Amino acid sequence: MNVATAASKKIYNGKEAVPAAVLYYHVDDPMISGSGDLQPDVINKEIIKALRTTGLVNGNRDIINMLDNSINGTSDVIPVGFNKSGDLTAASSAVSNEDYSAISKYVDKKIREFGKSILNGDIKVNPYEMDVKGSCKYCEYKGICGFDDKIPGYSRRKLDLDDKEAMELIRNES
């Protein structure tokens, strides 16, 4: 183990702390559609499915089992699933310990860069768009930021990397 690796490890109660997941939970009170004779267990299953988290999970099977110990195919709780051979499905949002570490280092680096940029006075409006998604959709400041792509000089950054390309970029920058 090199010094950089040893320095970046987190130790808790004498054991290495390994990140499990970064999950996003939409606080909601979902309404379930169906006929009036739905059974309570069916309703509960549909509610759990509607409240399923999104995000990124450590792909280690032991860690996944600690997050959801009742996975049978696709998890109702976290964004992972297993195929018949026991491997993660392509739709799973999971990465290896190494990639999780690379992502964490990349995020830390970007936070520092953005912080320095802001402290140096760079507060320009800089929204993104990716497919049909965009940063302005849920922004609480759209009423005051003044962004208007009809005004010359305003534009959205196009994010068009797929997951594999983005991960390769992160690995190379970390």
Q: Is the pLDDT of residue 102 over 80?
A: yes
- What is the 3-class SS of 30-50, one letter each residue? CCCCCCCCCCHHHHHHHHHHH
**Distance (Å, whole) CA 132 – CA 127:** 13
Q: Which of these three, 95, 114, 141, is where a domain ends?
A: 95
Structure tokens at 69: 């110990």
pLDDT band at 9 (very low <50, low <70, confident <90, very high): low
Structure tokens at 55: 């995000």
Q: Out of 43-47, 93-97, 123-127, give the one with best mean pLDDT.
A: 93-97
The DSSP letter of residue 88 is: B
pLDDT band at 38 (very low <50, low <70, confident <90, very high): confident
The verdict on 14 and 89 lying in the same domain is yes
The verdict on 111 and 128 lying in the same domain is yes
The verdict on 101 and 152 lying in the same domain is yes
User: 111: domain range?
Assistant: 97-173
The verdict on 37 and 86 lying in the same domain is yes
63: helix, coil or strand? helix
State percent of the chain over pLDDT 70.
Answer: 94
Q: Is the pLDDT of residue 63 over 70?
A: yes
Q: Which of these three, 95, 128, 161, is where a domain ends?
A: 95
The verdict on 51 and 71 lying in the same domain is yes
The DSSP letter of residue 151 is: S
Measure the N-to-C terminal CA separation of the chain; round to a whole number of Å: 17
The verdict on 65 and 91 lying in the same domain is yes
Q: What is the mean pLDDT of residues 138-148?
A: 85
**Distance (Å, whole) CA 66 – CA 80:** 13
Higher pLDDT, 155 or 120: 120
Contact 51, 25 (CB under 8 A): yes
User: Going by C-beta distance under 8 Å and a sequence separation of 6 or more, which residues neighbour residue 106?
Assistant: 170, 173, 174
Domain count along the chain? 2
State the chain's mean pLDDT as an integer.
Answer: 86
